[in-house]
Amino acid sequence: MRFLGKVWRLLVGVKDGLVLILVLLFFGLLYAGLSAKPYAGTVREGALVLDLAGTIVEQPVSAKPLDLISGGSSMTREYRLRDLLKALETASTDDRIKAVALDLDIFTGGGQATLANVADALGKVRRSGKSVVAYSTGYTDDSYLLAAHASEVWLNPLGGVLITGPGGTNLYYKELLDKLGVTANVYRVGTYKAAVEPFIRSDMSPESRQANEALAGALWENWQQDVLKARPKAQLAAYVAAPAQKMAEARGDLARAALNAGLVDRIGDRGAFEKRMVELVGADDGDVPGSYNASTYDAWVGANPSDNAGGAIGVLTVAGTIVDGHADLGSAGAETIVEALDQGLDRGTLKALVVRIDSPGGSALASERIRQAVLAAKARGLPVVISMGSVAASGGYWIATAGDRVYAEPSTITGSIGVFGILPSFEGTLQKVGIGADGVKTTPLSGEPNVLRGIAPEAGRLLQMGVESTYRRFLAIVSESRKIPVQRVDEIAQGRVWAGGTAHQLKLVDQFGSLDDAIAEAARRADLDPDDVSAAFLEKQPSFFEEIFQSTQREEAEPAARDVFSRIAGQPQLMLMRALQDARHILAGPAIQARCLECPSAPLRQTREKLSAGALLWELIAR
């Protein structure tokens, strides 16, 4: 009877837990329903407000209801690039929109090629005769790249413009691993495959430094050209070269220094900015001073969706780290992507395929799985065009070889044609703490890879040969698709990363162009009129609950630093967290990877888990 009583109490506990979860879900849905703003009826004549309180990405991470309830949802909002571009495109032609209010006060950035696309769209709005007015307390590289394309750039009197340019510090773990007794067993091909260097060195190798300096220089040159094209009178070079001098000339007033250098047009607080918007689009009927007629971004996107399920051009998105199996949006799960492609093909309405890649790579096996699926679509008679986003490197470039034509941006990060594998072993750690490890073998590979006693030479040779075989396969694929001799591919490969402009010169990409340009090219190859076709985006669709909770998430706003010095001061911690997360992903990933860690990645996707650098470092050590 005592045992039955314990079982009964256990069942009651399970029941109470399930009831609690259901109650939380109910109130979560109720809150979402009450707080969600219907799209119909919220579009108004006036300004389109782009309050970019977050980051711009190719594919936002899908919202998880249970994460939201438990406090594990995304801290910063992610704006989908194609939605933002569609919003600006329609705003440029819709008579209801008189101006665009570009609020960058807590904007957290995006990839350089991604931001260049948005900047071009802002330019189109201006060319249509409508004003684009930008406002922020502080501008840094990413936010200023967008603001430079506005017709008016406003800066808070207490703010400033601080441009740092590409570059930064990486973490190297060799001495730490030595102290812990951890052996990093590395298997790689490619002189410039620097992804494994943090585990075997305490500093950057000369080869990696050379490659990274060339890449940073190319990105910096593209950034400056983009800004100066939009603001040719700005004294950008002098301001960047000696910001302290410019500030001293303005008697310590950073905002005035930016104005004197022609980087901003007006200095004023938010109230002054709102009064300017009232002058442009008219005052709202409400009693709030400074309120102006406007449509919210969410309302406008809801009324002008970027997707057309019946479109003739399928767009398959490969965004995030490429992983085996299934994955949520924001990560490139091979099986998830292949299933989305198969479902699109089964509809029978697609005439061509565009593969949009914004990924630093990942699993070599998963990359090949996606490439084979694209080749299967090609075998069915569909033209295939590749469109590269901010990053399409390593495994991302592996997939790109399936295309008939490859489009990239000058600031796209691509190449990194190389392969590596890394397995940590802990024989030194066990020795330090006085723990022995022993056993028996029936074959040379019994118990391998042995992370307790050290990986046996036979197993190590097999892993190295596997990496070399995968690299040769990579070279052959690139050689065949790009019509470049294997020897030449090997010369420009070696894991080296290239900016889009250099990649074009090396014939790794065919031409510069956006996703729209790639869609137009796919239409022409399918004998369709580019002006009469639309795109159908082939990706995993969020569930009903995910959509509901996504709308709830839109209403949330996390506190964020607005002044420019606080933003720059926070960058080292974000870089530390990113480096540690990358290390964790490498150690937890497949044995053989085609991944680029040298590539400047999208902004770190933080979570409410409050993962500190210390917690991530402890987790890395615990592995």
- pLDDT tens digits for 367-410? 999 999 999 999 999 999 999 999 999 999 999 999 999 999 99
**pLDDT for res 588:** 60
| Distance from chain centroid for Cα 294 | 29
Q: How far apart are CA 70 and CA 459, in angstroms?
A: 43
Instruction: Cite the beta strand spans of 58-118 per DSSP E.
Output: 77-80, 97-103
Residues 6+ apart with CB under 8 A from 72: 64, 66, 607, 608, 609
DSSP 3-state assignment of 493? Answer: coil
Span 167-201, pLDDT tens digits: 877 888 899 889 989 898 989 887 776 778 888 89
Q: Are 81 and 118 in contact (CB under 8 A)?
A: yes
Per-residue confidence at 25, pLDDT binned at 50, 70, 90? low
Q: Is the pLDDT of residue 17 over 70?
A: no
Asked if omega into 383 is within 30° of 0 (cis), the reply is no
Lowest mean pLDDT, pick from 14-28, 35-49, 367-381, 598-612: 598-612
Q: Is the pLDDT of residue 555 over 50?
A: no
DSSP 3-state assignment of 70? Answer: helix
Q: How far apart are CA 402 and CA 374, in angstroms?
A: 7
**pLDDT for res 309:** 75
Span 210-247, pLDDT tens digits: 889 999 999 999 999 999 999 999 999 999 999 999 99
Taking residues 242-254, report their average pLDDT: 93
Per-residue confidence at 58, pLDDT binned at 50, 70, 90? very high
Q: Is the pLDDT of residue 527 over 70?
A: yes
Q: Are 145 and 138 in contact (CB under 8 A)?
A: no
Q: Is the pLDDT of residue 620 over 50?
A: no
**pLDDT for res 102:** 98
**pLDDT for res 255:** 96
The fraction of the chain above a pLDDT of 70, given in percent, is: 78
Burial class (CB in 10 A: 0-12, 13-18, 19+), 531: exposed
**pLDDT for res 477:** 97
Annotated catalytic residues are 193, 394
Q: Is the pLDDT of residue 156 over 70?
A: yes
Per-residue confidence at 284, pLDDT binned at 50, 70, 90? confident
Taking residues 100-126, report their average pLDDT: 96
Pick 38-166+214-303's CATH classification: 3.40.50.720, 3.20.20.70, 3.90.226.10, 3.20.20.140. Answer: 3.90.226.10
Bridge-based pairing of strands 497-499 and 413-415 is antiparallel
Residue carrying the six token digits 């924001």: 330
Taking residues 465-480, report their average pLDDT: 95
Residues 6+ apart with CB under 8 A from 394: 360, 361, 362, 416, 417, 418, 495, 593, 594, 595, 596
**What tokens were used for 28?**
């979560």
DSSP 3-state assignment of 270? Answer: helix
DSSP classification of residue 422: E
**pLDDT for res 13:** 67
Q: Are 77 and 54 in contact (CB under 8 A)?
A: yes
**pLDDT for res 301:** 93
Residue carrying the six token digits 């073998």: 441
Each residue of 17-37: b (16+ CB within 10 Å) or e? eeeeeeeeeeebbeebeeebe
Lowest mean pLDDT, pick from 92-101, 253-262, 607-616: 607-616
Q: How far apart are CA 27 and CA 14, in angstroms?
A: 20
Lowest mean pLDDT, pick from 50-64, 257-271, 579-593: 579-593
Write the CA distances from 527 to 386, 402, 520, integer angstroms.
Answer: 18, 20, 11
Q: Is the pLDDT of residue 125 over 60?
A: yes
Helices (H), 329-456: 334-346, 364-379, 395-400, 427-433
Per-residue confidence at 498, pLDDT binned at 50, 70, 90? very high
**pLDDT for res 143:** 96
* Nearest in space to 523 (alpha carbons), one of 312, 344, 356: 312
Q: How far apart are CA 213 and CA 211, in angstroms?
A: 6
What is the full DSSP assignment across 38-68? Answer: PSTT---SEEEEEE--EEEESSPPPP-HHHH
**pLDDT for res 294:** 94
Kindly list the domain boundaries of the chain, sorted by start residue.
38-166+214-303
**pLDDT for res 610:** 42
**pLDDT for res 299:** 93
Q: How far apart are CA 561 and CA 567, in angstroms?
A: 6
* Nearest in space to 425 (alpha carbons), one of 455, 382, 468: 455
DSSP classification of residue 315: E
